Amino acid sequence: MRLLAGIGAVTLGLLAAIGRVAMFLGATLTHLVRPPFYPREFALALLNIGWLSLPVVGLTAIFTGGALALQIYAGGARFNAEAVVPQIVAIGMVRELGPVLVGLMIAARVTSSIAAEIATMKVTEQIDALVTLSTHPMKYLTVPRVLAATLAVPLLVGVGDVIGIFGGYAVATGTLGFNAAAYIQNTVDFLELRDVVSSLVKGAVFGCLAALMGCYFGMNSGRGAQGVGRATKGSVEAAAVLILAANFVLTGVFFSV
Amino acid sequence: MITLSDVHKSFGDNHVLRGVDLHVERGTSMVIIGGSGTGKSICIKTVLGLVTPERGTITVDGQDVTQTRDRDAFLARFGMLFQAAALFDSLPVWQNVAFRLMRGSLKRPKDEAREIAIEKLRRVGLTADVADRLPAELSGGMQKRVGLARAIAAEPEIIFFDEPTTGLDPIMAGVINDLIREIVTEMGATTMTITHDMTSVRTIADNVAMLHGGKIRWTGPVADIDAAHDPYLDQFINGRAEGPIETVR
């Protein structure tokens, strides 16, 4: 009986949390289309989320692409299929690894920073100060960050895909003896428009989720340093899990047929 | 001008406000005193709508604050100095001071907003060279002054001061008290101040209200506090450990 009560409590808690996040997303969308708008905050968020994430995204992608080429070559050699390295690297990076790894890096870098910043603003009464200065915190803090992440992360994913493929190309042509021109030709021939579109759509969804979780946990932070710490940890956990779950759903939507 | 009637507010099992009744006349300075955790800050936050009471009414000029249609215009009548100044870390000092003047219904051109910010900084005893510094580069006393400059930047009719001298040395506390008194007299604003500091009370207040047990225990002119025969007020203003207010040792 106690076990059932425990399961019930966890289920109700989960449903309540989903409801609160859905309401938060609804409020964000409502404020997105209603003035006033804060273009300076949007530009700063775009710079922080997009431009300043480029190094970490680039490094993640190039190493992953290189490792992927080595693994596919070694695995393919077991049944004389070493030649498929360009095709599998391309499809692996564009369909899955590019968006997921960029999404997770954004969760680590951006979600944590948004949650910590907003939670600190909350515990130091800066959010209350915004309200007393006639500025809605959702419009000033949440909308610019969520919008910037939704627009910037697909671009980062696109860059990550290209760099990841380049990583595979560098390894394949440098150490595995592939012909450079043939590698590029095979990659281009094999990729379809659907692969690229799915990659960019995933990037937009993951960016939105990452920023939304940072803002949600920041705005609902507890008191003190411990509250900020919990908000930051919770935001990254939630963003990472939601990104992986959304990836599963989106993969099903794009490629189940 | 500001009236709280039978205001109740709880946080879980903690019934912070249990029927607060308070009236603040236009152009006067009301200081709310009381022990830590008695709900003094919650009182002013209910007026601003930062905290929603469960029961009771709060009116400003006879209008219920929960029924205000134009929230921007309503909040534009207020200025507030927060306990820890609550300056925006990411903005330089002058943009903190001119925050309200750079957006919303009171928006001015950038140069004009900066000029006003520098003038307000001068008014609180800070020089123009702090204008471009970040709040983290300032001392606690300077941050408090910047917070004060921000509170008065748009020349509001009503100003709230939440523990304006907490954490400051006695000299800086005296400077802030004098500044508040001067500014309030000069601007003719209606103010509510929350403090534990009896020097602040005697410098800033026209009227005093003591909050205890979630209700206003005593209220009256500042000149009457020493002669009031209320054991709670007497214990508080004289800082005695013995008395009806329970202390945890």
Residues B87, A38: C-beta atoms closer than 8 Å = no
Q: What is the CA radius of gyration of chain A?
A: 21
Domain range list for chain B: 1-77+188-249
Smallest CA–CA distance, residue A36 to chain B, in Å, is: 8
Residues of B in contact with A132 (CB under 8 A): 48, 50, 75, 78-80
CA distance B61 to B25: 10
Structure tokens at B114: 């900066």
Report CA torsion sign: A168, A169, A174, A178: positive
Predicted confidence at residue B241, as pLDDT, reads 82
Q: Name the CATH topology of B1-77+188-249.
A: Rossmann fold (3.40.50)
Predicted confidence at residue B228, as pLDDT, reads 85
* B205-222 pLDDT, tens digit each: 999 999 999 999 999 999
Q: Label residue A176 left, alpha or beta by phi (over 0 means left) and psi (-120 to 50 means alpha).
A: alpha
Predicted confidence at residue B248, as pLDDT, reads 56
* B140-149 pLDDT, tens digit each: 889 999 999 9
This prediction's pTM = 0.89
| pLDDT tens for chain A, residues 1 to 257 | 788 999 999 999 999 999 999 999 999 999 999 989 999 999 999 999 999 999 999 999 999 999 999 999 999 989 888 889 999 999 999 999 999 999 999 999 999 999 999 999 999 999 999 999 999 999 999 999 999 999 999 999 999 999 999 999 999 999 999 999 999 999 999 999 999 999 999 999 999 999 999 999 999 999 999 999 999 999 999 999 999 999 999 999 999 86
**Segment B101-119 mean pLDDT:** 91
* DSSP secondary structure letter of residue B89: T
Cβ count near B61 (within 10 Å)? 11
Residues A134, B100: C-beta atoms closer than 8 Å = yes
Structure tokens at A199: 């990659």
Smallest CA–CA distance, residue B189 to chain A, in Å, is: 17
Residues B103, A135: C-beta atoms closer than 8 Å = yes
- What is the residue-wise DSSP string for A91-127? HIIIIIIHHHHHHHHHIIIIIHHHHHHHHHHHHTTHH
Contact A73, A79 (CB under 8 A): no
β-bridge partners, B193: B31, B161
Domain range list for chain A: 36-255
- pLDDT confidence bin for B69, thresholds 50/70/90: confident
Say which of A36, A120, A132 has its CB closest to residue B48. Answer: A132
* A185-239 pLDDT, tens digit each: 999 999 999 999 999 999 999 999 999 999 999 999 999 999 999 999 999 999 9
Residues of A in contact with B49 (CB under 8 A): 131
CA distance B59 to A37: 31
- Tokens 């007497």, residue located: B234
Give whole-number Cα distances, A123 to A118, A129, B83, in Å.
Answer: 9, 11, 12
Q: For residue B191, with 0-12 CB atoms within 10 Å meaning exposed, 13-18 middle and 19 or more buried, which class applies? A: buried
- pLDDT confidence bin for B180, thresholds 50/70/90: confident
ipTM for the predicted complex comes to 0.89
Structure tokens at A33: 């289309």
Predicted confidence at residue A257, as pLDDT, reads 65
Contact B150, B96 (CB under 8 A): yes
Which of A22-26, A158-162, B12-16, B180-184 shows the lowest mean pLDDT across its residues? B180-184
Residues B84, A125: C-beta atoms closer than 8 Å = yes
